[in-house]
Amino acid sequence: MKIMSDLSRAGLLVIGNPFKFMGGAPRRIYNCLKMYPRIGIETTLYIPYSHLLLIKTMQYLFGIDEKNLYETLWAIEKEGVNISEQTYVQLEKTEKDFLKYVNILKSHGPLWIFNDFVRLFPLINKKVIEQTKQATEKDEVIKNTFSKKAMIYIMDNNFPDWIVTGSFISKTFQRPLFLLLQSIPFGSLRKFVISEWMRDRYFYEEELFRILVKIYLQIIKQTYLKYKFLYTYHSISDSLTGLLSVSEVPLKLLKLDVWAYKKKKPAGIIVPGNAVDINFRECLNPSKRDEILVKKEDYAIFYARLEVEKGIFEVPFIANHLQQYGYKVVLVGRFSSMKTKRTFERLCGRLNVKNIEYFGYLSDEDLWKILSRSKVLIYPSHSDVFSLVVLESLFLGNSVVAYNIPAINSVYGSLKPVKNY
Amino acid sequence: MAEEALKVLKMDQNRFVEEHTDPKLIKFLELHSSWKNVAEAEIKKMYEIIREG
């Protein structure tokens, strides 16, 4: 194919986090990275040092074996992706730096760290650029990539340090820069305040004063985030070649479509913006699909991260209605906090809901078994960019009942089994 | 939402199967069944943007 052969000569430098245990966006990056060499695109991965430090913190907090980090990088390398030398060098360096911060935390307390960060904050972008400069000067893999005129691809808009890194490399090597939108790092302040109020006042039943203080602090945080991101987008507009998006949601909700129009930057939606694991393909085989559809049982399912944003507190009300007709609801996933779990249980008790069967967090294999037997996914999510839960459910023959939010409407709105309103 | 879920649970089996074997749905699922399709779509979009710019 001509397009691919033109681009394989150009190559791609990806800035992103491929550690799929960290969530949906890294999982997408991991899967796409493995595919670029297969379609003939010479690909190099660079992970900024600032992000490696964040990964190290997550690894420490969630008790993830360090082996997983290296195994992920090796798996990508095995598929033909070049990993920049500096990614490995800096990954080792994070260990030392991370321990340094832990020791400071232990000896000076969290407030000192906070003050230190506030003081250092204006220097962060400068620091990110310094590290990137060092990487581009020292790293033979990156230099080799640019000798072949690579394009730079920032694979998530959720981290300003990636955007600053990509922009710096683009300016240094005078190469095209693309930014993929797959997150909503800030949203409408009005909606945010209403949802915080509803959650804390009506579900968590917190004291009025505590709620007001919390909302006030959150408003400051959200406003700060919004301006930080807008500033970052503005600062890269000279070097940016185009915006890509996994669905129309980030473009519309962040108003980046308007921003792109004003800046005369092209913006395009990727279709398909996401995919499922290869095992799902067999569900499209007509005989397998018939087998799945025949074995359906009369129950509804809800699976996701069990949190307010995904609509966990609507589930008892839906279950209550289905209970009157003798149907059960299967619930799969991990509660985001003990508070959420207790509130959920209290709601179930208050509504006298007894038809919810909770399975906790399941392995993919066990989840697919339950999902292939359920008939309908109830999905009262309030916010999404591209729901993989909905996609997987459709593969396994579930109808989907969801709110008419932009992610559901724009991606799945025209499909018969998706009932959104 | 509960009403909509109830309608699906009560739905006639033939209609349920018909909805889930609808050619438009199958085509959509085929498109979203491979990461290769996603990677190709990204690269093509970049190429279009460069070519048009």
Query: What residues form DSSP beta bridges with A242?
Result: A178
In angstroms, rounded to a whole number, what is the distance separating the alpha carbons of residues A371 and A303? 9
Apex A163 CA angle, A257 and A382, nearest 5:
50
pLDDT per position as a tens digit, A4-21: 555 556 689 999 999 987
Q: Do B39 and A36 touch (CB under 8 A)?
A: yes
* Test mutation, A34, A376, A386, A405, chain B, max B CBs within 10 A: A376
Q: Is the pLDDT of residue A115 over 70?
A: no
Percentage of chain A with pLDDT > 90?
Answer: 50
**Does residue A228 or residue A399 have the better pLDDT?**
A399
CB < 8 Å from A in window 6-35 of B? 6-11, 16-17, 19-22, 24-26, 28-35
Q: Is the pLDDT of residue A120 over 70?
A: no
Length of chain A as a residue count:
421
Contacts of A268 (CB under 8 A, 6+ apart): A242, A243, A244, A245, B45, B48, B49
**Per-residue pLDDT at A112:** 61
For residues A101 and A113, the answer to whether their CB atoms sit within 8 Å is: yes
pLDDT per position as a tens digit, A187-239: 676 777 777 777 777 777 777 777 787 777 777 777 777 777 777 888 888 88
**Per-residue pLDDT at A371:** 96
The overall average pLDDT reported for chain A is: 86
For residues A305 and A340, the answer to whether their CB atoms sit within 8 Å is: no
How far is the alpha carbon of A295 from chain B, nearest alpha carbon, in Å? Answer: 11
**Per-residue pLDDT at B3:** 95
pLDDT per position as a tens digit, A19-62: 987 788 999 999 999 999 999 999 999 998 888 888 888 787 77
- ipTM above 0.90 for this complex: yes
For the segment B19-41, the average pLDDT, to the nearest whole number, is 97
In angstroms, rounded to a whole number, what is the distance separating the alpha carbons of residues A61 and A106? 15
Nearest to A315 by CA among A343, A295, A273: A343
Q: Do A321 and B2 touch (CB under 8 A)?
A: yes
Q: Do B42 and A6 touch (CB under 8 A)?
A: no
How far is the alpha carbon of B52 from chain A, nearest alpha carbon, in Å? Answer: 9
Q: Is B42 on the interface with A (CB under 8 A)?
A: yes
Q: Do A34 and B35 touch (CB under 8 A)?
A: yes
For chain B, the domains span 2-52
pLDDT per position as a tens digit, A338-371: 989 999 999 999 999 999 999 999 998 999 999 9
Lookup: tokens for B31 = 């498109």
Nearest to A393 by CA among B36, B8, B2: B8
Using alpha carbons, list the distances in angstroms from residue A145 to A13, A27, A155, A200, A305: 7, 24, 17, 51, 39
| Position A149 confidence tier, pLDDT thresholds 50, 70, 90 | confident
Q: Which amino acid is at A114?
A: F
In angstroms, rounded to a whole number, what is the distance separating the alpha carbons of residues A116 and A129? 20
A-B CB pairs within 8 A amount to 170
**Per-residue pLDDT at A232:** 80
For the segment A275-295, the average pLDDT, to the nearest whole number, is 94
How far is the alpha carbon of B23 from chain A, nearest alpha carbon, in Å? Answer: 10
**Does residue A123 or residue A156 have the better pLDDT?**
A156
Apex A413 CA angle, A258 and A280, nearest 5:
110
pLDDT per position as a tens digit, B7-23: 999 999 999 999 999 99
Q: Do B33 and A275 touch (CB under 8 A)?
A: yes
Which chain A residue shows the shortest CA-CA distance from B31?
A272
**Per-residue pLDDT at A146:** 74
Nearest to A407 by CA among A378, A381, A380, A386: A386
Which chain A residue shows the shortest CA-CA distance from B17?
A293
SS3 B6: helix
SS3 A356: strand
In angstroms, rounded to a whole number, what is the distance separating the alpha carbons of residues A132 and A15? 11
**Per-residue pLDDT at A84:** 87
**Does residue A184 or residue B37 have the better pLDDT?**
B37
With beta carbons under 8 A apart, name residues in chain A contacting B23: none
* Test mutation, A12, A33, A39, A396, chain B, max B CBs within 10 A: A39
